[in-house]
Amino acid sequence: MDKSVMFNARLRKSEIDTWLNLLDSTCETDARNRDLVEKFLLLPESITFVSSLENRIIGGTSIYRDRKRSAMVLSTVAINGNYRESAAFQIIKSSMPFFKTVAIRDVDVLVPQNDEPKKLGFPLSLDLEPWTKNIIQRIGFSEVGVLKHCSFSVEPDSFGRPTVWNEKVNEEESSELIWDQSKPMGLTNSLVWLARDFALANGNLWELTIDEYIAAVAGFWQIDDTLCVLPLVSDPLRIGWEDLAAKLLIEARRRKARQMDLSLLGEGQQELIQALEESCSLTSCRKLSLLRKQL
C-alpha cells in the first residue's frame, strides 16, 4: 500500500478563514480573540501555511517576517491532536527557511517553561503551546533567553484620570528607542518588533514623552476588563521604574481595567515588575523560553 503524502501550501490573504477555522478546532485559547488573530494574519509580513493529508487539512503554521532584524518569528502552530506526534515535526519544519539569506538570518520562537495555562490567546500572548517545545528543539532551536508574561490586579480609582500617554507616535523615534533599549531590557528579539508592528498597524501604539523626548513606547490592547501592554520598551535614564509603573497604572485605571497584563518582559525589566508589585498584586508571572535557530 502506498504511503500517504503530505502536501504543504502557503495561503493567500483571501484564504485566511481556512487558517482561522483550523485554529478554532485545535487551539481553544489561541482562537479566543478571533478578530485580533485575523488582523494579525492580514498584516503584509504575516504568512500562513497549511499541511494536508489525503485532501484534509491537518495542521499549519504562521510566521512573521521581521525586516528590522532581518529575521523571522514562528508565531503560531495549529495541528490536529491526532497528528501531533506523527506529523508535527514535518509541518513545523516545512515553514522554516533552510538557508541564511539577506532577508532572514535567524528565526525566533517563544515557548512556556511549564504547563500553566495562558489567559490571553494569540496574538496578545506570543508563546506557543507547551507541547511544541521538544519538537522545536529537535528542529534545531536552542534557548537564548528568558522572558516573562506578568499579570497584575488593578484596584479601581474613583478619580477621573487624564491620559499621560500620546497616541500620536513618532515612528522613527520610537524605532530608535527600541533599537537602543532592546539589549539592556533583554528584548533583543524579533518578537518585540512583531508586537511593535502589530500595535502600530492597528493604532494601538502609544508613546510617553518627557522634555519632548520619547521615554517609553507601549502597545495598549483592551480585552473586556483586561489591559494588555504589548510591547513595552522604555529608557530608564529618562523615566525611572517607579514612575513608569505609576503611569501604566494611570492608563489602566483610566480605561477602567481590573487587570493589566505585560506579556513580553525581558530580564532587564525586573525592576518594573517590583515597582508594580508595590502598588498592585501580582496574580501570575509565566516564564517563557526564547528559542532561536541560526540559519
Q: Kindly report, residue by residue over 57-81, the tens digit of the pLDDT.
A: 999 999 999 999 999 999 999 999 8
pLDDT at 161 over 80: no
100, 207: one domain: no
Mean pLDDT, the chain, rounded, equals 92
What is the average pLDDT across 148-155? 95
51 inside domain: yes
Residue-level pLDDT at 212: 87
pLDDT band at 159 (very low <50, low <70, confident <90, very high): low
| Residue 1 is assigned to a structural domain of this protein | no
262 in a structural domain: yes
In a domain, 30, yes or no: yes
Domain assignment of residue 69, yes or no = yes
Picking from 99, 118, 146, the residue at the C-terminal end of a domain is: 146
- In this structure, the answer to whether residues 108 and 27 fall within a common structural domain is yes
Q: Is residue 32 scored above 80 in pLDDT?
A: no
224 and 261: one domain? Answer: yes
Domain carrying residue 259: 153-292
The pLDDT-based confidence of 145 (bands split at 50, 70, 90) is: very high
Let me know whether 135 and 19 are in one domain: yes
Together in a domain, 87 and 205: no
Among 30-44, 198-212, 275-289, the minimum mean pLDDT is found in 30-44
Same domain, 200 and 165: yes
Residue 136 above 60 pLDDT? yes
Q: Tell me if 174 is assigned to some domain.
A: yes
**230 vs 170, 196, 209, 261, 274, CA distance in Å?**
17, 8, 18, 9, 18
Q: Which three cell numbers stand for residue 249?
A: 497604572
What sign does the dihedral 70-75-80-85 (CA atoms) show? positive
pLDDT of residue 157: 77
Q: Are residues 227 and 116 in the same domain?
A: no
Show the cell assigned to 102. 539577506
197 residue type, one letter: D
- Whether residues 115 and 232 share a domain: the answer is no
Output the domain CATH number for residue 250. Answer: 3.40.630.30
Rounded distance, CA 36 to CA 31, Å?
9
Rounded percentage of the chain residues whose pLDDT exceeds 70: 98
Lowest-confidence region among 29-38, 179-188, 261-270: 29-38
Instruction: Report the predicted TM-score, pTM, of the whole model to 2 decimal places.
Output: 0.93
Residue burial 122-157, b: 16+ Cβ < 10 Å; e: rest: bbbbbbbbeebbebbeeeebeeebebbbbbbebeee
Euclidean distance between CA atoms 109 and 294, whole angstroms: 12
Claim to verify: residue 223 and residue 124 sit in the same structural domain? no
Same domain flag for 126 and 161: no
Is 36 among the domain residues?
yes
- φ, ψ for residue 197 (rounded to 5)? -60, -40
pLDDT category at 103 given cuts 50, 70, 90 is confident
Q: How many domains does the chain have?
A: 2
Domain closes at, from 124, 146, 168: 146
Does 1 have pLDDT greater than 50?
Answer: no
The domain boundary, picked from 95, 112, 146, lies at 146
- Cα atoms in the 13 Å half-sphere on the side-chain side of 21: 8
Rounded distance between C-alpha atoms, residue 113 and residue 74, angstroms: 17
The DSSP secondary structure of 195-252, one letter per residue, reads HHHHHHHTT-EEEEEETTEEEEEEEEEEETTEEEEEEEEE-TTTS-HHHHHHHHHHHH
Do the beta carbons of residue 265 and residue 232 sit within 8 Å?
Answer: yes
Q: Are residues 235 and 192 in the same domain?
A: yes
**Domain check: are 135 and 13 in the same one?**
yes
Q: In this predicted model, what pLDDT tens digit does every residue of 181-191 receive, in sequence order? A: 999 999 999 99
Residue 271 belongs to a domain: yes
